Amino acid sequence: MSLEALKNHVVAMEKDEKNSFSYRAAASFSMLEHIDLMVNRYLKEPQTEKGAILLDVFGMLQGLFVAIDALYDLAIGLTQFKYHVNVNSNPVLHELKYIRNDIVGHPTNRTYPSGGTGFSMLSAGHLSKEKFSYHTYVFEKNKLEIKTKEVYLKPLLDQYLVEKDRILKDILSYLSHADVKTSIPESIAGLYETLNLESLHEIIDKFIEEYHIEKDSNHRFLWRASLVETCIGWHESDVELNQLVEYFAKVQVEKLYVIALDLENRKGMDLYTPLPRVLLSFYKFIRKNERYAVELLRNIHDFKHPLRDSDLMALFSLNPPKDSYKLLTFLKEQTDENKAYLIGSALKAYRPKK
């Protein structure tokens, strides 16, 4: 979908000193227009000279990084929410921020939560407009680890265009049906009590129908619903871990409820799920090690984050007590991305002392 389809909505917004949303939308729209020009130029013009290739590589990595920010801000500017944007659900684009940080952001000095330091260098012998590789030298505890990454720019560009198209369609559809009123929030309140799979599927179908979005949309409501579905089908033999999974499900249903209310500009009741004992015990462990541990929780929910495993090992090195060791092991053993996200998000939800 062309960006132009949203132009009238951006232009029509009132601009005054009390309304930052209109300026946010206008700035984001303008930036996305600029990125479109960059992408078109990159795709049409071949490059062979090394300096020109580097300009293309650096420009596209930074341009795509900025474009993703602009998509989030365009959604917030036009709808006041970022529910229509969920770039991390796209596995190709999910890696973009890590590649960009290594090459364009902080290649000469990266510090990691686990205490390590990294330095990244492009491989001069493997550099073209379409493909490049780089090495990252990570020093930690008097040890050197060399990581090599090969990057193809075309898949990044292709997936950006696919994701941008989805997001613009979702935003336009919402703006065209912004006054919709449904029974979805009430159905979600019922789901909170039952955690019934059939009820969840009915809610998903109703949401897609009312908001005229595609089934393959990465809308945050549909993503959260998929997390609830994961929980409903997830059973552990350990009683406490099973209670923890039910807690995950209810927390995600809470988030669905908030999204549904926000989209209809409504207020609802407060849904509150008490912390399971084992999670509360983990937070006490983090409190005792707050100086070191809080930073290690930052990426713990992200299954594909390059620092996740080393941060997890660093948490183990703090000699966690039985309950905390149990939770960290529970996370470490997961091979399903949704389950790892649910556990990691609960651990990351710890709030430091003020």
**How do residues 210-267 score in pLDDT, each as one tens digit?**
999 998 899 999 999 999 999 999 999 999 999 999 999 999 999 999 999 999 999 9
Cα–Cα distance between 327 and 257 in angstroms, integer? 27
- The domain boundary residue, chosen from 175, 205, 223: 175
CB neighbourhood size of 197 (10 A)? 13
Lateral strand order in the sheet of 117-127:
110-111, 117-127, 131-140, 143-152
Distances (CA, A) of 58 to 46, 129, 165: 16, 10, 24
**pLDDT tier, 124 (very low <50, low <70, confident <90, very high otherwise):** confident
Average of per-residue pLDDT across 313-337 = 97
> Is position 353 within any domain?
no
> Is position 74 within any domain?
yes
Question: For 80, phi and psi rounded to 5 degrees?
Answer: 75, 5
**pLDDT tier, 354 (very low <50, low <70, confident <90, very high otherwise):** confident
Give the position of tokens 């998509």.
71
Residue/partner pairs of 208-213 with CB below 8 Å, 24 or more apart: 210/177, 210/180, 210/182, 210/184, 211/173, 211/174, 211/177, 211/180, 211/263, 212/173, 212/176, 212/177, 213/169, 213/170, 213/173
- The domain boundary residue, chosen from 234, 263, 292: 263
User: Are 328 and 322 contacting, i.e. CB atoms less than 8 angstroms apart?
Assistant: no
Give the position of tokens 């799979």.
197
**pLDDT tier, 324 (very low <50, low <70, confident <90, very high otherwise):** very high
> Is position 238 within any domain?
yes
Same domain? For 87 and 171 the reply is yes
Same domain? For 108 and 142 the reply is yes
User: Are 299 and 215 contacting, i.e. CB atoms less than 8 angstroms apart?
Assistant: no
Same domain? For 20 and 167 the reply is yes
> Is position 313 within any domain?
yes
Q: Which helix (H) or strand (E) holds 255?
A: helix 239-263
Which segment of 121-135, 189-203, 328-342 scores lowest on mean pLDDT? Answer: 121-135
- Expressed as residue numbers, the domain containing 124 is 96-153
Give the position of tokens 């008097």.
142
| Tokens found for residue 185 | 């929030």
Same domain? For 54 and 158 the reply is yes
CB neighbourhood size of 70 (10 A)? 22
**How do residues 23-79 score in pLDDT, each as one tens digit?**
999 999 999 999 999 999 999 988 889 999 999 999 999 999 999 999 999 999 999
pLDDT over threshold 90, residue 319 = yes
Same domain? For 13 and 86 the reply is yes
Distances (CA, A) of 166 to 84, 85, 87, 213, 331: 9, 9, 10, 9, 32
Average of per-residue pLDDT across 67-94 = 95
Q: Which of 77, 133, 127, 71 minimizes the C-alpha distance to 102?
A: 133
